[in-house]
Every structure is written in C-alpha cells, then in structure tokens.
Amino acid sequence: MLDSIKDFASWFFVTGDPLIYGADVSIVLASAAIIGVLTYFKKWTWLWKNWLTTVDHKKIGIMYILAALLMLFRGGVDALMMRTQIALPDIKFLHPEHYNQVFTTHGTVMILFMAMPLMFGLFNIIVPLQIGARDVAFPFLNALSFWLFFMGAMLFNLSFVIGGSPDAGWTSYPPLAGLMHNPGVGENFYIWGIQISGIGSLATGINFLVTLIKMRAPGMTLMKMPMFSWSVFATCIIIVLAFPILTVTLALLFLDRFGGAHFFTLDLGGNPMMYINLFWMWGHPEVYIVILPAFGIFSEVVATFSRKRLFGYKSMVFAMLVISVLSFFTWLHHFFTMGSGADINAFFAITTMLIAIPTGVKIFNWLFTMYQGRIRFELPMMWTIAFIPCFVVGGMTGVLLSVAPADFQFHNSYFLIAHFHQVLIGGVVFGYFAGLYYWWPKMFGFKLDHTLGKWAFWFWNIGFYVCFMPQYSLGLMGMTRRISEYSWDTGWAPLNFISTIGAFLMGIAFILQVAQIVKSVFKHKKVSNDPWDARTLEWTTASPAPEYNFAVIPRVRAVDDWWETKERRAKGIADDPQPELEPIHMPKNSAIPIIMSVCWFVAGFGFVFGWWWFYVPGLIGVALCMIARSFSYDTDYYIPVDEIKRTEAAIRGSV
Amino acid sequence: MDKKPRSLRTLIAVVVTLVTLGALIWGMFFTADYLVLDPKGPIGEAQKDLIIISTVLCSIVIVPVLILTAIIVWRYRDNPKRKAAYKPNWHDSTILETIWWGVPILIIVVLAAVTARYTYALEPSKPIDANQKPLTIQVVSLDWKWLFMYPEEGIATVNTLTIPEDVPVRFQLSADSPMNSFWIPQLGGQIYAMSGMSMTLYLKADEVGTYFGSGANFTGEHFGKMTFDVHAVTGDDYQKWVDKVKENKGSTLTEASYADLAKPGVMGETEFSSFPEGLYDKIAFKYVVDGQSSHHGSSGTADETKKDGTDMDMPGMSHDSHQMGESHPGH
C-alpha cells in the first residue's frame, strides 16, 4: 500500500531536479504568505466581493494585467534559464529534456498567457472609457472570460510541478506531440490549458466587437472613434475568425491522444501536416492579434505627446483593416521548406510581403504626427520612440524571411528567432509598456516613478539589442533553434555569451519595473482627470474612474473630442449644458464566472490524466453553473441619483 | 544645477560601457564564420544573391526612415529654445500619403517579381544541371541520428556524408522519427524530412571541403546531437572512399540491425558496406495503406519512387518536379 502510494507520488509529482524542488518550496511559501496576509488583515470578504466576483471592466482589466505580469516573470525566468544553458553548454545547467520543456513553456506562456492577457487588460480598462460607455456589452461574459483565462493559465502552469511540462515546442507539432512520440501527460496540459483560456479569448473578442459596434457614445461615428478603439475592433475581428480554428485543432489533437483517433497521426490515414496548416491558420493571425492593439496604443501616445492630431487617420484605419484581412492569407510562410511546390510558395511569399505595405504606411504616419509637433519625452513616448527603429528593422528582416527561396536558409535558424523576438518585444512588449505607463494614472490615480522608469527603459533597450542582434549573426552562422548543446568548433559560443548578457540586462530591467511600481504605490502624487493633457474621452472622467465611468454619457462631436473641448474652453466658449443626472443602470456582481471556471479547471485536470471521476463532476459543475445563470433574473440594479451626486462630489473634493 | 557633474559622470560611464560593449560585439560580428554568406555550391550561391538583393531593396525604405526618425525626434522635441514650427492641426496630406503608399508598393512589386522568379528557379526538386547525371543519396532522419544510403554504390553511413565535388547530388529525404529538416548551409537551403513521404532536394558542392550539416527541426530530446559533416572530395577520392567502405565487410546494415538503429538514441559516425535493398522505400512508405489512395503521397508516388530506385540509369528526372506536388499531403 505504502509502496503504491510512493510510486504514484513519484509519477504524479515532478521529481529529481533541484531547480524544481526550489520552485516547489517557493510556491508553497508564497501561497502560505498570501493566505496568511489575507487572513490576518481579515481581507477575504473584501477580496471576494470586490475582486473575485466583480463584473466591473476596470477591475477585471487590473486582474488581467496582474496575471500577465506574473506570467511575464515566469516566461522571463524560463528565458534566462535557456540563455544560461546556451551561453555555457558545457556546464550542463539544463538536461536536454528539461531544456525542451523550458522552451515549450516559455513560448506558450509568453504568447498565450502574457501577451494576450496584457492586451485584454488594456482593452478592458480603456475601451469602454474611450468610447464613452459604462461597461462592456456583456459584463458577466467578460468576467467569465477572465476566469477561464486565469484557470487555463493555472492548469498549464501546474504541469511544472505535477505530471511534467509539455516538451514538444509551443507549436506542438505532431507526430512529436502525438501519443506515438509523446505518451506523457505534458501535452495534455498544453492542450487543456490553452483550450480553456482560448474559450475566454474568443468570448472577449465577441464581447468587444459588440461593445464597439453598439455602445459608442452618441455622436461618435465609426470614423470618429479613437485609434486604439479601432485597433481593438480590427483585432477582435481576427480573434473571432481565428480562435475557433485553434479550438478545433486542439480538440482534434486531443481526440488523437485521448480517444484513439487518427487525425494527425502517422498511421491509419492521419495527416500531421494538416495540424501544421491549421495551427498556423490560427497562429499567424494571432501575431497580428497581439500587434494591432500595440499600433493603436502608439497612435494615441504619439498624438498626445506630440500635442498634435494623428496624421492620416483614414489611412491608419484602412491600413489596420487591410492587415487584419491579409493576416489570414500568409500562414504557409511558416513552412516554405515542407515542399509545397513553387506555385504555392510564390503565392504565400507575395501575400506575406504585401503586409509590409500597410505596416510601413503606419510608421510614416506616426513619424509625420511627430513632425511639426512638440514632443515630450514622458515614459509612454520614450517607449514609442524606441519602438519605431526596432520595429522597422524587425519588419525588414520579416520581409527577408518572406522571400521564399531565401527562407530555405533562414528557416529554423536563430535568424528567425531574432526576427520574431524583435517584432514581438520591439512591437508588442514595447507597445503594451507604453500603454501601461500611459493609462496607469487612469487605472490608479497616480503616475509611475519617472526616474526608475527611465532606468528600466534603458536596460530593456540596451539589453534587447545586446541579446538579439548577435542572434541574427548566429542564424547566418548556421545555428538552429531549440538546440541545448553545441560543440566549440561551431564558433557559436562567443556571440551566444554576449546574447545571454543582453537577456540578463532585460531581466534587470524587469526587476527595475517592479521596483518602480512598488515605489510609486507607496510614494506618489495624486493626479487629476487628465495628467498628460491628452485628447480622448477616457481623460474626461476621474482617475481612477468611478464604477459607472461617466455620470452623464458624453456627446461626441469630433475625432479627439476632449482636445477639441479643451480648445473651445481656452477660447472662452462655454460647454454644452449638461443634462440632468439620471439613475444609472449597472450589472450586479456574480460568483458564477469564477465557480464555473474552477469547474472547467477540474474537468481539464481530469482530462489531462484521463480520470473520469475528475472530469465528469467538473463538466457537471459547468452545466450546473450555466443552468443557474439561465434562471437568475436578479442580475442588475440602479445607482440612485443622490449616490451619484455624492460620488461626484467626493471625486471633485479629493483632487 | 549642482546635479550636473554627477549626471555627466553617469553619462560618461554609460558611454564608455556602451563603446566597450559595442567594440566587443563588433569584433565578434566580423570574426564570425557566416556559413550562409559563404556558399560553396550553386544553390547556396543563388540564395545568397537573393538575400543581398532583398536586403538592398528593403534598405531603400528602411534607411531613410531611420534617418528621418532621428531627425524628427530631435528637431521637434519640446524645448523652449527650439525654433521649429508647430502645427497642431496639420493632419492630412494627399501628396505625402500617396508617396508612402506608393513607394513601398513599388518596392514590393519588384521584390515580388524577383522572389517569384527565384522560387521557380530554386524549387528544391528541380535538377541542377540537366546534362549531368546526379548522384542519389537517400536520407532518413532517425531518433537522433541521420542515416545516409547510397543506392548506386550499395553503401550506407550514419552521421557522415561524403560526396564528389562538381556532381549534383539528388537527396531523397524521409524520416522514421518526428519530422526533421536537412540543412547544409554552405551548399544550400534546407528541406523537411518527414515520415510517410519522400522529398527531393538537389545540391552541389563546387569545391573540395568539409561542410557543416544539421537537423534543423526539433525532433525531441537529443535532436541537438544530429549534426554531421559533409566531405566534398574529388571524383577519385570519392571512388577510393566508396571502395574502402565496401571492403569493410564486417559492418553491414541488415533489417535487424536497422531496427536497432531506429531506436531512440545518440551515436557517432558509422559506415556500412551494404544495406538491404528497398530499405528507403520501406521506411518512406511504411504508413501508406495498400490499395487506398492515402494522405501521404498517393500510391502512385510510391511506385514512381520505387522505379527511381531501380532505374537509376534513366536520365528522365523530369517526374521529380511533380513528385513534390504529389507527395504533398492532401492530394
């Protein structure tokens, strides 16, 4: 009996690596500390009522961002572990098997559990405020999306200590990811972690699409919508069309592994290449899903900090919509070297190059927004200025990769690694940082410390170039991705060592940012509604905004409506008379999203191990939650006028 | 104002660090051994040309943009002493917009034309020189080693390749493992080696030398060990090498020893004086279900390749060009 428990435990828990034991201990300590603090300060009710059951888009946004920063830490530690191994392959810091797990989780976490939630966090906080709405179209669904993402991410991360991490790469190509070559439970964690959070992503896409179409303030026609909202619109179109492909693909892969199906197996008529096609039919649009909102952020930031209207608004909108359509016609460039023939390769090479055109146009428009402006070097603007050269060079290497016959020499090499990190860090990460710094005062009512922010900025930027420029060279020297060891005669060691130094500089930069947040939380000045002298509606309401966002729904006349209002006020023209306050209709908090997501987590965990006594109750729980929600009619309430008056007075008094 | 010397010192420290680091990296960039940019065969040569052409074309836009960025950011910074104009409401210009939609379009049109031409010219299954009989080498990716079979010579090797210079080599590639990618940077670009299908890649070495090759696509635990050297030797030396391998009757590859070889594991370089006939086809088409037009290449493709295997003297390599299409799944 004791022996069988021992056997089970040594199979069930990941064992044998001191790094993992260290992580186990720190996870237990951190959890104990959190529980201890919450209990000591009697904060459990506060946590439950104000956060875990909230349907307020602003709070959900903050939770998304917190989770994303946590995942950025995890993905970043993965990256540093890999870079350590690659810099000094002879010290055998990571065994190949462990290395394979680490690069798999690094990629998956960074794209799906870092970039996506950081993006959704910014959507949540800003979009309703920017279009003059009181919440998203479906607040309950919004909370459900968040909790599905969170539980999916937790399930994925659980593989670190239980069962074993996936190790077939973030792309998880069969046959390597199939049962034949990968019988462990790691791949199941990959499938279910992404699957559960993917449902949330799809729901968020639908939610924001509807919000942007139906909930804009009166007078805000589509062509008066702020550029960030436009970018969210374009992104949501891609999400709605692309995420179902991922869901179906992973479902089929799971059927192969779990139900003995043969969709992607080698034998009995399966076809692994079909997986690769399907994966990239989602995977390439996914890249544009994360970059388009960054484009939106840059557009807002560049106009605000140049004190000038965004150049070529119509062109910018058109370019973004063109990108979102084209993104669906380029997927094959991820496997030019799989022998599709010259006709197909030529077609996809050209569609890929075409994307460079609208993207280039956007760069010119940002430059000419700055041209004849007055550029203030606040943190959001610094990240935007750093983005332009970085993304331009990264975009250029992307065009080089799109040249199909040349790609035969770039594919799978570090040249490719350098390229996509340059566009994903230089574009997406820099963009979201710009957005975080820009909208931080709107979220919390204070700016982040400028000095520490500058240090972090320079460490990030220098670290980035030191890390990734050598990797272009390494690619041309023949170094391929995902290897954990190489011999000295390859001549790759010195540049790899340099690259690793850069990675650690970025690690320091991240610590500086954490320090910056901590310092600013304890020592800051409260800011007014509009600390940056900005242009759009989110800056007309308090920082942070009250739960109902706007006491009176604004009426919009122009692009950059708030800037125009300020101009009128400067000329001495009075504002339009405000209508009387009316009771505000609000959604009620609900515990169902978090409970339902926990049920999904239980079901997912059961599917990972194939334990019906786990997944059947989990799925029953999900069904019960749906039924409970269908029959709950007490889902909304009104904020009375006196309370609005009291809140508004308190806001005015506090600034 | 008394803070100035300190920030100056910080600035100097930063600049010195940057310059040192820069010089170090610069040195390494220049002493590096760029295999892709130092090709030793016609395919690699053409790919290098294409890399240079596309880089130059892109630079037409990129370099001005980088310069413009620096100028604009400097000139229009918010500074009480600056004299540059400020036009907060200027946000539209048809002429400018036409320029920056137009110029990238023109460049992409040129690049697209060049790419399309090269894509057909460098189609990997296209013979390099129709007048010269190629040497066929059958390549199989295993967990975690490469098996190379020389059907014309009847010999096989593991993790080492020897080829004659100036003779086109026709690689047929398959896998008995997860999909890998066969890459010899100095000879030319890579192509995938996949289970259940056969791919074709023509390469040629113009010079005698030893070239680095590797498995470029991740296939599991020890795939990083799947590197191999390609020895390009003179025709005479090649014949001598073949004879030497054939003489060593002690090491032959049999069906049984292949089964051992295919098991996951790492190994060094090995040479076999013989291998079972038809082994490659057996590996490449082991998942094709008889009598049924399956996913991985129709049974027609399998027959065609078998014909290639036995009819090596036939000059007609024309069917190679469409074999690629047929062996692609989904047909």
pLDDT at A108: 96
- Residue A214 near chain B (CB below 8 Å): no
Whether pLDDT at B155 is above 90: yes
Residues A292-313 pLDDT 10s: 999 999 999 999 999 999 999 9
Residue B321 and residue B179 share a domain: yes
Whether pLDDT at A119 is above 90: yes
pLDDT at A14: 81
Contacts of A470 in chain B (CB under 8 A): 25, 28-29
Residue B15, in any domain of the structure: no
Per the CB < 8 A criterion, the answer to whether B115 and A350 are in contact is yes
pLDDT at A655: 53
Residues A195-245 pLDDT 10s: 999 999 999 999 999 999 999 999 999 999 999 999 999 999 999 999 999
* Confidence at B321, pLDDT banded by 50, 70, 90: very low
Residue B8, in any domain of the structure: no
Residue B302 and residue B269 share a domain: yes
Whether pLDDT at A255 is above 90: yes
- Residues in CB range of A556: below 8 A, 6 or more apart: A132, A216, A217, A218, A219, A220, A224, A537
Neighbours of B165 (CB within 10 A): 18
Residue B250 and residue B108 share a domain: no
pLDDT at B306: 39
Residue B27, in any domain of the structure: no
Residues A491-518 pLDDT 10s: 899 899 999 999 999 999 999 999 999 9
The answer to whether the pTM exceeds 0.90 is yes
Neighbours of A66 (CB within 10 A): 14
> What whole-number distance in Å separates Cα of residue B331 and Cα of residue B291?
16
* Confidence at A462, pLDDT banded by 50, 70, 90: very high
Residue B220 and residue B108 share a domain: no
Question: How many contacts (CB atoms, under 8 Å) link A and B?
Answer: 299
Q: Which CATH superfamily is domain A43-590+635-654 in?
A: Cytochrome c oxidase-like, subunit I domain (1.20.210.10)
pLDDT at B115: 96
Phi then psi for residue A413, to 5 deg, are -100, 175
Our CA-based measurement puts residue B231 at a distance from the nearest CA of chain A, in whole angstroms, of: 16
Number of structural domains, chain B?
A: 2
Residue B313 and residue B269 share a domain: yes
Our CA-based measurement puts residue B171 at a distance from the nearest CA of chain A, in whole angstroms, of: 13
Q: Do A400 and B51 touch (CB under 8 A)?
A: yes
Residue B19, in any domain of the structure: no
Give the pLDDT mean for A355-377: 95
Give the pLDDT mean for B238-251: 92
Residue B301 and residue B266 share a domain: yes
Residues B262-287 pLDDT 10s: 999 999 999 999 999 999 999 998 88
Whether pLDDT at B324 is above 60: no
Residue B70 and residue B49 share a domain: yes
Residue B161 and residue B67 share a domain: no
Residue B116 and residue B141 share a domain: no
Residue B22, in any domain of the structure: no
Residue B268, in any domain of the structure: yes
CA torsion angle for A318, A319, A323, A324 (degrees, to 10)? Answer: -30
Q: Do A100 and B221 touch (CB under 8 A)?
A: yes
- Residue A610 near chain B (CB below 8 Å): no
Q: Where are the beta strands (DSSP E) in A27-143?
A: none
pLDDT at B29: 73
Where do the domains of chain A lie?
Answer: 13-42, 43-590+635-654
Residue B224 and residue B98 share a domain: no
Give the pLDDT mean for A434-463: 96
Residue B312, in any domain of the structure: yes
- Residue A405 near chain B (CB below 8 Å): yes
A330: nearest Cα among A296, A393, A275, A282: A282
CA angle A325, A328, A333 (to 5 degrees): 130
Residue B248 and residue B108 share a domain: no
Domain residues for the domain of B55 are 41-77+90-122
Residue B230, in any domain of the structure: yes
Rounded to the nearest 10 degrees, the angle between the axes of helix A450-476 and helix A379-402 is 10
Residue B311 and residue B178 share a domain: yes
